[in-house]
């Protein structure tokens, strides 16, 4: 769980960095998208790197979701009679919403892939596949639809929550937080990554919506 989660973090960081290329204009962005596919050539075939990443992420996703399901089932079996009244003392909301947040993210990821990867659905023109336009156009068209932006922003909020707890939780699960200071640092890292990644991702849709990118 922690390992696959950290892999996601690494991926999302790179992914976010890529997305921010949108600010350098259509050409640079499309170049980048293209470059991703040529990365590693000639050692790797065209799209080789991309596929390795995709397979890696898929394996991680399966591992991550499987562990999540196992944990959730263990938890529900561990307490079949619920409290009539239960208060939570000091835990963060993010820590108690990992499951629902995670499920939301899963739905989101599926749509996200349909939207930008496998399906390439342009919500504005209704076109799919190559007709949907180059990556840049597809992106701008998508975020020009206000409710699309809202979906993405909500997903990023969920991601922020997930990362806020997930980052610290992963370091704890891996046994790197044996002192009060290291725990403090892991929690700070959680905040940092949540803000940077969720914030970074949100910049693009927001910018499109507000017409900074068109």
Partner 1 sequence: MKLTLKIWRQATTDATGAMHTYQLDGVSEDMSFLEMLDVLNEQLNASDEEPIAFDSDCREGICGMCGLMINGQAHGPEVTTTCQLHMRSFKDGDEITIEPWRADAFPVLKDLCVDRSALDRMIQSGGYISANTGSAPDAHAAPVEKKKADRAFDVATCIGCGACVAACPNGSASLFLGAKITHLGELPQGQPERWDRVIGMVSQHDHDGFGGCTNIGECASACPKEIPLDVISQLNKDLRTAMVKGR
Contact residues: ligand HEM, CB under 6 A: 1-2, 5-6, 8-9, 12, 61, 64-65, 68, 71, 98-99, 102-103, 105-106, 109, 162-163, 165-167, 169-170, 173
Say if residues 2 and 169 touch (Cβ distance below 8 Å): yes
CA 164 from chain center: how many Å? 13
d(C-alpha 41, C-alpha 32), whole Å: 15
Q: Is 90 in the site for partner 1 (CB under 8 A)?
A: yes
The angle at the Cα of 95, spanning 114 to 188, to the nearest 5 degrees, equals 95
d(C-alpha 148, C-alpha 64), whole Å: 26
Say if residues 204 and 139 touch (Cβ distance below 8 Å): yes
Among 110, 150, 154, 174, binds partner 1 (CB under 8 A): 174
d(C-alpha 133, C-alpha 67), whole Å: 38
Q: Is 185 in the site for partner 1 (CB under 8 A)?
A: no
Which of partner 1, ligand HEM, none does residue 182 bind (CB under 5 to 8 Å by kind)?
partner 1
Q: Which is nearer to ligand HEM, 7 or 209 (CB)?
A: 7
Q: Which is nearer to ligand HEM, 35 or 99 (CB)?
A: 99
Q: Is 154 in the site for partner 1 (CB under 8 A)?
A: no
Whether the bond into 42 is cis, omega within 30 of 0: yes
Which of ligand HEM, partner 1, none does residue 90 bind (CB under 5 to 8 Å by kind)?
partner 1
What minimum distance in Å lies between the beta carbon of 111 and ligand HEM?
12
Scanning 18-26, 48-56, 83-91, 198-206 for contacts with partner 1 by CB under 8 A, the matching segment is: 83-91
Which of ligand HEM, partner 1, none does residue 74 bind (CB under 5 to 8 Å by kind)?
partner 1
What minimum distance in Å lies between the beta carbon of 155 and partner 1?
21
Strand partners of residue 121:
128
d(C-alpha 58, C-alpha 52), whole Å: 10
């Amino acid at each position: 769980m922690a390992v696959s989660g950290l892999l996601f973090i690494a991926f999302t960081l790179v992914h976010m960095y890529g997305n921010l290329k949108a600010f350098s204009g259509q050409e640079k962005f499309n170049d980048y998208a293209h470059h991703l596919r040529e990365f590693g050539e000639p050692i790797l075939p065209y799209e080789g790197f991309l596929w390795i990443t995709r397979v890696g992420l898929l394996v991680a996703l399966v591992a991550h979701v499987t562990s999540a399901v196992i944990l959730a089932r263990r938890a529900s079996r561990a307490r079949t009679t619920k409290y009539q009244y239960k208060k939570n003392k000091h835990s963060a909301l993010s820590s108690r919403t990992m499951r629902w947040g995670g499920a939301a993210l899963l739905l989101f990821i599926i749509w996200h892939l349909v939207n930008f990867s496998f399906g390439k659905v342009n919500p504005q023109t209704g076109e799919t596949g190559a007709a949907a336009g180059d990556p840049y156009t597809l992106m701008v068209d998508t975020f020009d639809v206000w409710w699309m932006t809202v979906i993405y922003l909500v997903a990023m909020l969920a991601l922020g929550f997930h990362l806020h707890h997930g980052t610290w939780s992963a370091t704890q699960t891996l046994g790197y937080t044996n002192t009060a200071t290291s725990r403090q640092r892991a929690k700070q890292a959680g905040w940092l990554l949540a803000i940077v990644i969720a914030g970074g991702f949100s910049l693009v849709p927001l910018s499109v919506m507000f017409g900074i990118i068109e």
